[in-house]
Amino acid sequence: MNESDSTELPVLVFATHNANKAREVQNMLSGAYRIQTLSDIGCHEEIPETATDLKGNAFLKAQHVHREYGLDCFADDTGLEVDALAGAPGVRTARYAGENADAQANMSKLLGALADTDGEDRTARFRTVICLIRGGLVEYIEGVCEGSIVRKQSGAEGFGYDPVFSPEGETVTFAEMSAAAKNERSHRGKAIRSMVSELLAKS
């Protein structure tokens, strides 16, 4: 498809500034939609993520784009839920060790909180919730990856909590897997693929 053809496709905004994430979805939806990022539509204001759960935060981001820019869009939010911590860090996954915490601080706090926890009590899951708004209709799509928190960081790939999360059935962490292998198992990959299947079925 050449560039002039792609400009005739319906626009679907991904509420992110991450061009790589948007490109991944664009490749999956080639010929059906033209994916644009927040930067592409000139949305540079901070969108509050003040909801008490992942579904609420995804909705706030998608609703902002739809209300302020009048475009069909989708937004995602992801959380790590640790059973021994009653589902924490959950909606505060990115801010677990504080508002300006980095990934290392978050992982250190998590491993510290689980220092006296062994075996099955270290079970956890990553959950991604997508809010998709098309034609004013709101839909939610989820992707979940079950697994457990390892005792010490391992691996240098990925980002966030990847070095401490091992998906169910694996002996390595996400950070020790290739990007392709992680995407096959990951919560976000599952959610995106489910959304793409729905969009293509209705396009």
List, as one string, the DSSP characters of 46-105: PPP---SSHHHHHHHHHHHHHHHH---EEEEEEEEEEGGGTT-EETTGGGTT-TT--HHH
Any idea which architecture 3-202 has in CATH? Alpha-Beta Complex (3.90)
Q: Report the alpha-carbon distance of residue 87 to residue 161 in Å, rounded.
A: 15
Question: Which pTM was predicted?
Answer: 0.89
**Confidence at residue 180, expressed as pLDDT on a 0 to 100 scale:** 86
Contacts of residue 163, Cβ cutoff 8 Å, sequence gap at least 6: 107, 153, 154, 155, 156, 173, 174, 175
5 given a catalytic annotation: no
Report, as an integer, the average pLDDT of 67-96: 96
Percent of the chain with pLDDT over 70: 96
Total H helices, total E strands in the chain = 6, 7
Residues 72, 77, 83, 102: which is the catalytic one?
Answer: 77
Give the helix/strand (H/E) hosting 42: none
CA 193 distance to own-chain centroid: 12
